[in-house]
Structure 1
Amino acid sequence: MESQSIRHLQFGRSSRSLRLQTLIWLRWLAVAGQALTVFVVAVVLHFDLPLLEAILLIGALGLVNLTLALRYPPTHRLQPGAALVLLGFDLLQMGGLLFITGGLANPFASLLCVPVIISFASLPLRHSLCLLSFAMSCATLLALTPYPVPWQGDENLVVHPLLLLAFWAAIVSMMAFAAFYAYRVSMEATLLADALAATELVLEREKHLSQLDGLAAAAAHELGTPLATISVVAKEMERELKHDEKFGEDVALLRSQSERCRDILRRLTSLSAESEDHLRRLPLSSLVEEVIAPHRQFEVEIALVEKGERESEPVGARNAAIMYGLGNLIENAVDFARSRVTITVEHNIDVVAITIEDDGTGFAPDVLTHIGEPYMSSRSRQDERAGGLGLGLFIAKTLLERSGAKLTFTNRATGASGAQIRVVWPRSLMDINSERAI
């Protein structure tokens, strides 16, 4: 069920790129914050600090930022190498400003973490690790600065070396933790967004296939008028040339074939009207059988157990999302089953439930809590067949949950090996006669 095009799509890395405009706005914020801080310390509090050097460093950041804003369009996206260089420059500028204002004893020393967090949230891991190493080196150098922290009068704020070591340890540990957290959150969000995009592609494809009958009927209707004209002309030509030895047989053949085309188009035109119930309304038993059919050709036996009378079964609208989702779950069960897959269908006045069981090895305990996450194998990691990314199962789970279903993934009861997936809908969502029918 999972298309080859979806299997081979590349996700994750392409979307982890940094937009230059975002970096420019962050840099303007940094310029404003640094300038305001220097103004308050030097002018308002009258603390002694190397004012000229601080202005030059802040001006350098502003000049580079202005150059980038004028040279590149707002939509420009940075390559990882270019982004690394810019973030490295930001780190160097921030480190230089801290170096001349007390180093690690400066209360703003923790701002060294900002470029690192941005890097781990938007750049590939190897680039981010390079920046992290550079940031830790800068933090180490700041501990050795000869410049004191700006303070009032002629007083020097002396910080004990042991306290400086504690500052260094705190900043480095915070940098590492924030980097790891930003990377994990960003990667999970990227994978989820890409997987949802793949889900939308699959759903659109299924909807497109389900609409082909309507397109065929529309094409037949459009072709009907010119074909009728051809048929009329062919009849006139046959009337005039039916005794002609040279063209009589050809004209008769032309007329008969035009009639045949009209019969074919007539059947296509009436397809939607004649088969509307079959195409648009689907009893639960027919839905399940249609989903199972493509998988009966394999060596694994598929047993269907119906708990409930067909006379009272729900009749729902054909839903491409439900059919694809169930089909993917059944395909997964067939792939991992040893010899048998059992599908149990239940329905009552409140719910509709479909349970899919196989006699394979079942879900590994460490995988059960992560079932349905994209890029996570659906079975044991030691199983060679389970080397996939879990994207198909994620798509199936997402589509079924969008239809109102609740999915439960477990292993079969003690004494029976294999996995069990239970899909449950409120009956109102599976019955076209209900006000909330799908």
Structure 2
Amino acid sequence: MSGAEVFLGREASGDGSHVAGRQNLRLLVQLRWIAVLGQVLAIVVAVSGFSLALPLSDMATVVVLLIVYNFFSQLRLKWHLPVSQVELFLALLVDVMALTAQLYLSGGVTNPFIFLYLLQVALAAVLLRRRTTWMMAGVTSAAFAGLVLTRHHGYTLPLDLGGGLDSPFVLGMLVCYALNAALLAIFITRIMHNVRTRDARLAALRQRASEEEHIVHMGLLASGAAHELGTPLATLDVILGDWTHASAVTADPELLQDVRDMQAQVQRCKTILGGILMSAGEMRGEALSRTTVTAFLDSLVAQWRQAHPGARLRYSRTIDSDEVVIADQGLRQIVFNVLNNALEASPTLQQFTAVLENGQLTLEIRDQGPGFVQDVLRSLGKPYRTTKGQPGRGLGLFLSHKVARSLSGTLSANNLPEGGACVTIRFPLSALTPEDADEPAE
């Protein structure tokens, strides 16, 4: 980003702003052709219709220079290069200079076309940043005042009303113009700011709708898979149950233990599928599981440790409350996802801290791994953002981010100064509180 662009308030832009810049420059080229035609017609009417003595050669030179510049602008549009705010400002500045020259050659402030300066201010307010708009208002006001001060050094028209800055009429015109330019700069820039804010909000809503549609699609697939897997898992559970009573198995203690381990894993798979169906809204006739916040977190950590016996998880909580909450399967799953990522990045140590303060529950998971790459941090909450190089990966943090938002909370991630990464899940505890929370917990 160049120094001039910083001075004019220009920020780095993407492909969308590049397209908009080219369209804006094309609009200025079209308006300039209209201005050239208007100047030619005005000169012809003034000379032939009103018999005014004008310096035709000088005025024609200004028109020719404006035509040459406009041809150059059209040629520049064919280069397919981004158009910056600096370039748009300079294009408007050329138009102001051409208008000032024509006004100087045809009566100065007494020329009724002097209020065309307001068009340049309006265009700047629509096309440029706020600081640049005020610069254009200042430039045109200075040009207006310059025409007043140099009035007796240029050409005058028979309709000359006389007087300089000491004339109430001329001074009133200058004040009127400055006031109109300021009002245009203020209100049009505010209107354009509101329009840009609205467009940004609509773009965010469209992005969110697209992500929600993606989640619904995945939810349907997960629900269907859960239904399909339920039957074979139930069959395996029955077969393994029969094996535990078979004489050939009971006679071999080691084989019996293997069968029981397989039963436990099948039961775990059934529990996971039940959680998927519960998250999809299919409660399978079961009541919501009630517990306390401490018991919920303790059981969550115990389940994860049981599933990962080799993990070295440090768990601590600062919660002085036994408030009744719902054992939310979605929250359980996102904590498992983040803990799994921490285990994969840092097998030697993981830290899980839970803090309840002012009704806000904060879950913080740290590891001592290499940390997140900057691209993942910048696109946190976007699907398929992963550095693992495997197709279909990168949904863990995406789904976790969506579940946290459904709890009216946030999920953030950052790299630690001492090394490693930290993922923070924060949401109001009231999001887990049932409506009839006075009933005893399980």
- Normalized against structure 1, the TM-score is what? 0.48
Higher relative CO (CA 8 A, sep ≥ 6), structure 1 or 2? 1
